[in-house]
Structure 1
């Protein structure tokens, strides 16, 4: 069977205001998908959406707190009202607090797990019946090599990303019976604010361009109908910390 494309596919992307989310939104917008860009950073999000539309693509912005159940429900309802369908969900929004367990507050832990793990669950749960009723669709969860290894001062982040990888594989097993594809994209370090602001001593040359990971997201979305990629890892050539 031939490779699919994303033309006119309605695709939700969370955390779309910067980094990988923005790169994925721009790439898919350029490939003529209908991009539903979501983030809490409204001003940056509007800039991403305007860039896509100015380049001839189609994008809309939605202010969304992925950890808020009512916010997620309302946003999905709005997208369905405006576009009539949803073809794919890319769970990309993430946060972190780089502190030791002694310094990490319970509120920090709860917020990290709420955004990184509860958020993908809430969104997947909201779109699942829509995809099922439509006869199929795709959920892509952006996880990290933080789901495969550990470093210090990151207990909440690791717990959330290991959890997201487990959730993704469990959902893959469950969703395939409803013709819904689920993919975990395990990304190595990228030249994004998420890494460079938290770890300013990191050499950008050992990281990868988020556009490269966005290309992988497009690749998994365009597999033939009979094929699904449950997990794919994308690493920078020069990042030697894994493995």
Structure 2
């Protein structure tokens, strides 16, 4: 079952009574939170008691998702900003802390793509993909890490993709950005561990989201996974004991045959 308002859909997730308090007191910023995996993350995490800040380049859609989650145990707040804009990224971190008094978890989820051969790929498109998929996580992680060091710890979760481990034609910018995100994530894991900041890269396989379905309308949806399943894996990472960190996790649909 899904909740729908306007053109925004949030997959239904109903935690058991114990789960509804798993993340109580946590404040989590989700970028790209107005659609696809971002919306699923916002729903799952707020349903488990977290205060979720839904960041998206489209403020109207972010506010719609927030309104869909009004009945969840956790509180929600929407911010409209471009992750690749330095002032916007810094401002989103500051607004999150101002709103809820803390930032416990940053989830760098916002992403974009251009599907075309390299000789047709425009300079502007390359820059846009890199700015959203790689520069954005750098900016947000930089400002989040500064706060988390002062707070004595936190978590940064970078949504990568199996595109960071394999390659297919006509996606050079996307692959370059996601391999970069994976490298950035592992570098931050090594750098921030002494400060009690956990950093995890989540390599998600194909999901039933507009990001994939709008570009590949002929894809067999039966081979894809519900984004809620990936969101639940992210929640599991967040709720690990304090003394344990997972630097990298891959979450695949059972029927996806292009990955072992």
One fold, TM greater than 0.5? Answer: yes
* 1:206 counterpart = 2:223: yes
Q: Secondary structure at the match of 1:61?
A: strand
Distance 1:198 1:218 in 2: 28
Aligned to 1:168, which of 163, 185, 209? Answer: 185
Q: How does 1:67-146 map to 2 (within 5 A)?
A: 67-146=84-163
* 1:152 counterpart = 2:169: yes
Q: Secondary structure at the match of 2:136?
A: helix
Give the Å deviation of 1:78: 1.5
Q: Note closer, same or farther for the CA distance 1:38–1:161 as it changes in structure 2 (3 Å cut).
A: same
- 1:184 — aligned with what? 201
Contact conserved, 2:48 with 2:73, CA < 8 A, in 1? no
Contact conserved, 2:154 with 2:198, CA < 8 A, in 1? yes
Distance 1:222 1:54 in 2: 22
Q: Secondary structure at the match of 2:170?
A: coil
Q: Secondary structure at the match of 1:53?
A: coil
Aligned length: 240
* 1:9 counterpart = 2:35: no
Q: TM-score, normalised by structure 1?
A: 0.97
Give the Å deviation of 1:56: 4.3
Distance 1:210 1:68 in 2: 27
Contact conserved, 2:22 with 2:239, CA < 8 A, in 1? yes
Q: Secondary structure at the match of 2:199?
A: strand
Give the Å deviation of 1:201: 0.9
Q: TM-score, normalised by structure 2?
A: 0.90
Q: Which runs of 5+ in 2 are unaligned?
A: 1-20
* 1:226 counterpart = 2:249: no
Distance 2:148 2:59 in 1: 27
Give the Å deviation of 1:8: 1.6
- 2:13 — aligned with what? none
Distance 1:43 1:95 in 2: 19
Distance 2:76 2:95 in 1: 14
- 1:49 — aligned with what? 66
Distance 2:252 2:57 in 1: 28
Give the Å deviation of 1:54: 3.1
Contact conserved, 2:157 with 2:202, CA < 8 A, in 1? yes
